[in-house]
Structure formats: structure tokens, C-alpha cells
Structure 1
Amino acid sequence: MTTSGTTSSETGGTTRTRRGVGILGTGVIFRAYARGLSTQPHLPVLRVADLDEDRARAAAAEWDIPRIGTAEDLLADPEIEIVVNITPPGAHAALTDAALRAGKHVYVEKPLAATVADAERNVATARETGRLLGGAPDTFLGTAGQTARTAVDSGLIGRPFAATSFVRSSRAETWHPEPSFLFRAGGGPVLDMGPYHVAALVNLLGPVERVVSASSRPEQQLLVTAADKRIDRVDVEIDTHSTAILQFASGALATTMYSFDVWDTELPHIEVYGTEGTLAVPDPNYFDEPVRIRRRGEREWRELPAAIARTTPEPPHPFRGLGVADLAAALDGEPHRTSAEFALHVLHVLAAVQEGSLDDGVVAIPSRPRRPAAVAPQA
């Protein structure tokens, strides 16, 4: 094992600096990160930490990770340069702050923090310490997100003026043994699935300028029917159906509906409407599904050729980690696409969607990050 600057590896024809990685949290999303980082040989995972030591030990054994321990052990490890924080959202802010102050660069699973105030404090700490902070989602860096981006940038649909974005229920109560966290503060469809959609829209259309929204709570309690359920019912403590209009700085408008109550729909995940055609963008929770287009005057939809090489190995799921690689590349001077400023902007938009009401009227979004740089095709 070596520290950064002593060993490099070839990734996509580019020499990358080796940087040790430590992962905080070994819950459901851990395998996706472990799998994704296993495709990045310059980013070896050297240590994992979890409050559940047995779970951490099992995760380390499964993925040949040499060390486990507490969060304090991980932050004190001199071989770890990048910390990946995939703890529950309520724990994000405190652990991110501690990692930054320990001299680590940090990549955080979505959302950047459970509240806007916490996220803003983390961004300030990153500036204060001179460390790099980035955050999920990273799926817009994948083949689908970049193929759609190329189509927009090359004018295939003319000038984009509108979009739609829809999330239906994940039906968590039918498969998750204890889904209460999804129906409490910090959960809900806006903060659970909304980050993927808003990040995808900002990648395509640029930053959001204003939001008007309304939310409701159709059910007060839900029956849990998962085969291995640990509880019988879930109290719904937050609004679970939100609709909004997003106005982008470019002038484009997006109509969104993010819901845990819509059980089925034939609505698309994302569509972008331009003066010369329509772009159908697949589920932004994934990386490599096809992008389709139908231009003015065409009689049928057609699939667009991929703009970049396939992102994920077969089978494609679960997979995460492109954002960690993006942060590492930024340390080598490349564009930081999943930057803290980008992740904070997404959270600003989601907070406006979730917390706004018709009585509030239009809510101005305080942040205005640059649109992330497009991913260049590999040579």
C-alpha cells in the first residue's frame, strides 16, 4: 500500500495518482460503492468503519479491505486521503466536518447533508481547511446522462425550453423490512429520489433560478407488507407527494412530480423539449440505459448512439463511485463535476420543492453553480 504521489495507474488512457480511500458506513449502498471503486485501481479502499463492527468486518472480508475500525480510527489513518461518507443522511454533516478537519478530502452520498444549513456549514469548512468536498449523485456522469448532454449541446432538439421529471412510489413498504426512515424528516420522495432527477436536469439545462411548489400527505399511516417485515405499520410524518415548477437561469421551465403515493404511471422519467424535437432520458438513478429522440417531422422515436463508453460493467447494478473518481481527478487539476457547490445547489432546489407552498409563492434559489463540464469521450 502506498500514499498519493508514489504510484499511479492507467484509467481510460490517463495516468491517475494513487489515493487511499476510507469508507464510513457499510449499509445497503456500500456494495455499490465497493463494486464501483473496484473498477478504479488508483483508488484502493484501505479501511471501512461502521457502528456495527460485525457488519464492517463482513464487508471488509467480502471486498478484501485490509482494515476496519471506528470512524476515529479511519480519520486518523495517514494512508487515507479520500473519505467516502455513506452513513445515513442525519450523520452526514458531523462526520463530513470531522473528516475535513482531519485533513481528508470527502465525498458524500446524497443528500450533501440532511439540511441546507448543515450543508452550507460543510461547504464553509471545506473552504476553511482547503480540502475538496464533493457529493452524490454521480449518475449524470454515466453513458445516459452524457449522451443526453451531447444531444442538447449539439442542438439536436434545437433550443431546450421545457422539461418534465417524474418519480413514482418505490413501494418500499412492500419490500423493506423497516421503511420508517423514508417517511420521516430527511426522507420522502424529494430527498430520496429527487437528487438524481435535479442533478440530471442541471446537467442538461444549467442551474435553477426559481421554484414554485406545493406538497401533500395523502396517507397518514401505511401498512408494511414486506415478507421479512419488522414492523406492521409506518407513521407518515412528512409530505410524500410534491409537485413543482423549476425555472432555470436559461429560461427553460421544468414540471416535476415526486411522489411516494403514485403507485403506477405511464409518465416518462425525464423528457426535455426543444424547438426542434424531444429527448427521452431514462431513469437517472442508473447509468447506461438508452436515450431516445424524436425530432420535428420524424414519425418514430429512435435510440441515440452512446456519446461515451459504457459506464458500468455487466451486470450493471449495483454500482456507484464515479463521483469519487471525479473528485480524485479534480485533485489532479481536472474539472470537478460533482463539486460541493453543485451538490449544495441541488439541495437548495430540493429544499424549495419540499418546503415550499403556494402561499410562499416563488422561491429564489440562492446558489448559482456552473453547469458541470461534459465528460469527454475516451480516446
Structure 2
Amino acid sequence: MQIALVGTGFVADYYMTTLANHPTLSLAGAWDRDPARLEAFRAFHDVAAYRDLDALLADPAVGIVVNLTTPESHCEISRRALAAGKHVYCEKPLAMALAEAEALVAQAKAAGLTLAAAPANGLSDAHRLVEDALRSGRIGAPRLIYAAMEDGPVFRDAWARWRSRSGAPWPGAHEFAIGCTLEHAGYALSWLVTLFGPVESLTAFSAVTFPDKGPGTGSIAMAPDFSVGCLSFRSGAVARLTNGLAAPRDRSLQIFAEKGSLTVRDLWDNRSVVHVEETGAPRPLLGRMLTRAEAKLGRALPWKPVAGRRLPYRDRPGAEALPGFPSRIDFMRGVADQAEAIGRGEAPRFSGALALHITELALALNDARDLPQPYRPRSHF
């Protein structure tokens, strides 16, 4: 399957880093509205560059257009690509408004095309490990889930100096304007809905807690830098999801079930450490020793190990190319999954109704201040 990238900004280098993991994909070329950025990307990666978007969309060799533009451009670029007869893989969110996302999904369906969406961490090795553990029934039915997508106070860091491999600046000011929820909630939602099913209702709160994000950001209309939502799934499970740019970095997932619990250390790590604790099973020695130490000292210790035992991966880690910490995600895996599904004549996992549901939930979390609560999604899968 030949693919083409639209948008060569910061995240595009993550896709290029992980393209090597998927020999079934071939990059036909790339285009960006910024000629200088496109040339820097082209020269660094030694790839072809299209003269304009029309030329890219007119290339009969291109099967999938990978839409890596800014969020407010996602809808228009995807619409044009679908109209040109191309399958589309779009960075999150599908659109900045639910009606626009619904129209895109309907357009793809009417044209017999696939519209898939990031993030690809819902296809990670860690997700598969957790999915298998839940399916085995060893901890029973999940009842309560805590998910965190806290990125730390990045606005206090030297983000203006951050650069990708090919020299693209990290678009910090733009991310503050779009908001951490639309940028990051999908990384948790992709896990939640594939593990526990569609959301029946959502009660959320969002706010701008730090309006001053430092030099150069004073004129920006800030999107919420914090959101929290309580999600009720049709399966009966309940989850709490937080997104933020101020609290210490935490991208964990905790699943509390009838007969035990599962803890995923980092949803941004393709092979994250996963712990399982089964009710009634002997506790690890270190945990027991630290509990006794707390009792003798009469105070809580600043650190204790994660409850339970480490869940082993059945296969050995491959020689996969992944971005460095903290973004150890196989970004191109979603595109590869889409290409393979197209080859089989099937719908990709993160496409159509599922992609729309994740988009609607992220929008509902971000826009909580303007929506009636509880919010009941109109999308389902």
C-alpha cells in the first residue's frame, strides 16, 4: 500500500521513525503548506515532495492519505482526500465539531472508503496483553477504571526550543489553544472503548486553570488545560478519566475488577509494564515488607511498588523503531492496520463508528462547560 503524508510538522517525524516497522507500507511522498518545512522534511528523510495538495490527491499510486495537519484543518483535508477517492488516516480528532466528524464518516461510507483515526496506541502490544488478560477472566468483570492522561506542566519547560528529528518546532502555543483534552484524551479513550465498549453517558468538567502559559502566549485564547470525566459504559463498567497540563506526568490505567486488578504503567509505551493482582493471591515480599515498615514507623512511605505481579509478555520484544521517551508509540501501526484491513476487505479497527465515538467523547470532555450534564453520546458502535 502506498501512502502520502499531508503535513510535515512535529508529529510527522514520529510517523517516519516507525514507518520502518511496516514493510507493507510504501511512502509515495509528502506535502505541506509551508514550503520551507516541506523542503527540510524532504531533505532529511530523502522522500519525494508534491508541488501542491491537488498533485498529491491526483496521484493514482496513493491508496491512503495520512492527514497530519493541524486539528482545525483535519476536516477539510480529509473531506478533499475522500472526495478524490482516497482512504484516509487522520490524526486526532477527526474534526473540531461533532457534526463535521459525522459528515466525514458518512462521506467515507457512501464512497466505499475507510476513514481511520489515531491514536495507534490502542493497537499496542500492551493493549493486546491487557485485552487477553481480561478475556481470560482471571480478575473477573471490570467494575471501576481510573485513567490518567496528565502530561506534566510543559508550559513551564523550555518547549520553545524543542525540535523534531527534521527540525520542526513543537507547536506549544498552538497546542495550548487546542487544549490537552483534544490533543491527548484519545490515547486513553482508544483503550477504554475497545476494552469496555461504548459509553452510555458522560459527566464532565473542564477549566483553564493556568491562563498564563509564559512568554509568547499572552495573546492566545486558551483552551481548557484540565478536564475530568466520569464515563458510564453500556457494559456496566464506570471510569474516571483526567487530562491535564499541570499535574505531574501520569499516563496510567488502573482496572479494578470483581476478582482483582490490572495496572498499566504508561499508555504511551508500546510494551508498558503491566501488573496484575488477584484477590487472595499472596502479595509480593517487597510489598509486605514495606507495609510492615509503615506500620512500625507510623507513617506512609513516599514510595511503594505497584500492587500485584508483573504480567509477562508471551513474545520477546522485536527490534522495533520507536520514538524516544515519552512517546514510545508505534505511530504508523494504525496506518498499517488500515492497509491490512483494506486488503482483507474489512473495516479497520479504529475507523468509522468507533473513530467517531472516540472523537465525540473527546469533544464532550473538552467542551464540558458548554454542554448539559450528564452528556449522552449520540454515536455508538
SS in 2 for 1:223: coil
* Residue aligning to 2:256: 273
SS in 2 for 1:294: strand
Normalized against structure 2, the TM-score is what?
Answer: 0.84
Bigger fraction of residues in helix: 2
Q: Name which of 230, 233, 239 aligns with 1:248.
A: 233
Compute the displacement of 1:115 (Å): 1.9
Identity rate of aligned residues, in percent? 29
Compute the displacement of 1:183 (Å): 2.4
In the alignment, is residue 322 of structure 1 matched against residue 304 of structure 2? no
Q: Map 1:53-72 to 2 at 5 A.
A: 53-72=35-54
CA RMSD for the aligned pairs?
Answer: 2.1
* Residue aligning to 1:220: 211
Q: Map 1:150-229 to 2 at 5 A.
A: 150-173=132-155, 174-177=157-160, 179-184=172-177, 187-224=178-215
Contact kept, 8 Å, 1:37 with 1:43, in 2: the verdict is: yes
Q: Name which of 304, 312, 322 aligns with 2:311.
A: 304
Change (3 A) 1:146 1:72: same
SS in 1 for 2:50: strand
Normalized against structure 1, the TM-score is what?
Answer: 0.84
Compute the displacement of 1:156 (Å): 2.1
User: Counterparts of 2:339 and 2:241 in 1: how far apart (Å)?
Assistant: 33
SS in 1 for 2:213: strand
* Residue aligning to 1:372: none
Bigger fraction of residues in strand: 1
Change (3 A) 1:303 1:335: farther
Matching residue's letter, 2:78: T
* Deviations, residues 158-199 of structure 1 (Å, cap 9, x unaligned): 111110011224433213226222222xx2221111000011
Would you say how many aligned residue pairs link Structure 1 and Structure 2? Answer: 341
* Residue aligning to 1:12: none
Contact kept, 8 Å, 2:252 with 2:265, in 1: the verdict is: yes
Q: Any runs of at least 4 consecutive aligned residues in structure 1 with deviations exceeding 3 A, and if so which?
A: 232-236, 307-312, 314-319
Unaligned residue ranges in structure 2 (runs of 5+)? 161-170, 285-307
SS in 2 for 1:68: coil
Matching residue's letter, 2:64: I
Q: Map 1:1-379 to 2 at 5 A.
A: 19-173=1-155, 174-177=157-160, 179-184=172-177, 187-224=178-215, 231=216, 233=218, 235=220, 237-262=222-247, 264=248, 269-298=252-281, 299-300=283-284, 301-307=308-314, 310=317, 313=320, 316-317=323-324, 319-333=330-344, 334=346, 336-357=348-369, 360-369=372-381
Change (3 A) 1:58 1:237: closer
Unaligned residue ranges in structure 1 (runs of 5+)? 1-18, 225-230, 370-379
User: Counterparts of 2:150 and 2:134 in 1: how far apart (Å)?
Assistant: 26
* Deviations, residues 104-153 of structure 1 (Å, cap 9, x unaligned): 11100111122212111111110122211101011111111111111111
Matching residue's letter, 1:162: L
